[in-house]
Amino acid sequence: MSGEVTVRWFGGAAEAAGAEEEAYPAGTLAAVLDAAVTRHGDPVARVLPQCSVLVDGRNVTGEPVEVSAGSVVDVLPPFAGG
């Protein structure tokens, strides 16, 4: 699959990544998140298991999904309060 997806980081995940938004090659969600861990190392590796993941607004946490070029992946850590 060619093209890019946008990964948007929120809260503590953005702090771990040192960015709020980045581009990654399209592919499986696992490949996209693995690329993020490769790029950012341990800080992202530690926060990802605690996060919910949405693809184009749909919660896909733990699902094996393909992420098409042009899609948006949101990485949301648990939020306090509410």
Write out pLDDT tens, residues 35-71.
999 999 999 999 999 999 999 999 998 889 999 999 9
Cβ neighbourhood burial of 81 (10 Å; 0-12, 13-18, 19+)? exposed
Domain 4-76 classified CATH 3.10.20.30?
yes
Q: What is the pLDDT of residue 63?
A: 86
Distance CA 30, CA 46 (A): 15
Q: What pTM was estimated for this model as a whole?
A: 0.92
Q: What is the pLDDT of residue 1?
A: 53
